[in-house]
Amino acid sequence: MVTGIALNWPMTRIGAPGQSLLDPGPTTIAVPWLFVAVGVLGLPLVAAVVAGSFTRTRLVVARRLV
């Protein structure tokens, strides 16, 4: 997030005369909530489906030697 703000700072700077580099004015920060939700909810769901498709549904019963 710090990197995003640092990269966004010069792009949103208003080039008004007399404005210093350390005080660029208001900075717009937009959080991509859909992308975050897909990463947090969708990725574990896809991992569960892939893991479930490669696992056995029944255990093989081993013979007992008595």
Per-residue pLDDT tens for 20-59? Answer: 666 656 666 778 999 999 999 999 999 999 999 998 777 7
Q: What pLDDT score was predicted for residue 17?
A: 60
Residue 28 lies in a domain: yes
Residue 60 lies in a domain: no
Q: What pLDDT score was predicted for residue 15?
A: 58
Residue 61 lies in a domain: no
Please tell me the distance from the alpha carbon of residue 44 to that of residue 34, in angstroms, as a whole number: 15
Please tell me the distance from the alpha carbon of residue 27 to that of residue 63, in angstroms, as a whole number: 70
Tokens at residue 32, please?
């991509």
Residue 59 lies in a domain: no
Phi, psi of 28 (to 5 degrees): -90, 125
Q: What pLDDT score was predicted for residue 31?
A: 83
What residues contact residue 13 under an 8 Å CB cut-off, 6+ apart? 19, 24, 25
* Domain, as residue range, for 33: 2-53
Q: What pLDDT score was predicted for residue 30?
A: 78
Look at residue 65 and tell me whether its pLDDT is greater than 90: no
Q: What pLDDT score was predicted for residue 60?
A: 76
Q: How many domains does the chain have?
A: 1
